[in-house]
Amino acid sequence: MRLERFYPKERIASAYEIPYEKFRKYGYRGIIFDIDNTLVPHGAPADGRAAALFKRLHGLGFATCLLSNNKEPRVKSFAEQVKSPYLYKGGKPSPAGYRRAMERMGLGPGETLFVGDQLFTDIYGANRAGLYSILVNPIHPREEIQIVLKRFLEKPVLAAYERSRKVKRAESKRS
Dump pLDDT digits (tens) for 69-85.
999 999 999 999 999 99
* Tens-digit pLDDT profile for residues 49-73: 999 999 999 999 999 999 999 999 9
- For residue 143, the domain's CATH number is 3.40.50.1000
Helix H, strand E, coil C: the string for the chain is: CCHHHHCCCEEECCCCCCCHHHHHHCCCCEEEECCECCCECCCCCCCHHHHHHHHHHHHCCCEEEEECCCCHHHHHHHHHHHCCCEECCCCCCCHHHHHHHHHHHCCCHHHEEEEECCHHHHHHHHHHCCCEEEEECCCCCCCCHHHHHHHHHHHHHHHHHHHHHHHHHHHHHHC
The whole-angstrom separation of Cα 125 and Cα 112 is 13
* Tens-digit pLDDT profile for residues 160-173: 888 888 777 777 77
pTM attached to this predicted model = 0.90
Closest CA to 56 of 82, 35, 36, 37: 82
Q: Which domain, by its residues, includes 54? A: 3-174
Mean pLDDT over all residues of the chain?
92
Comparing 149 with 44, the larger pLDDT belongs to 44
The whole-angstrom separation of Cα 169 and Cα 165 is 6
* Tens-digit pLDDT profile for residues 27-44: 999 999 999 999 999 899
Count of CB atoms situated within 10 Å of the CB of 147 = 19
For the chain, the domain total comes to: 1
pLDDT value for 143: 65
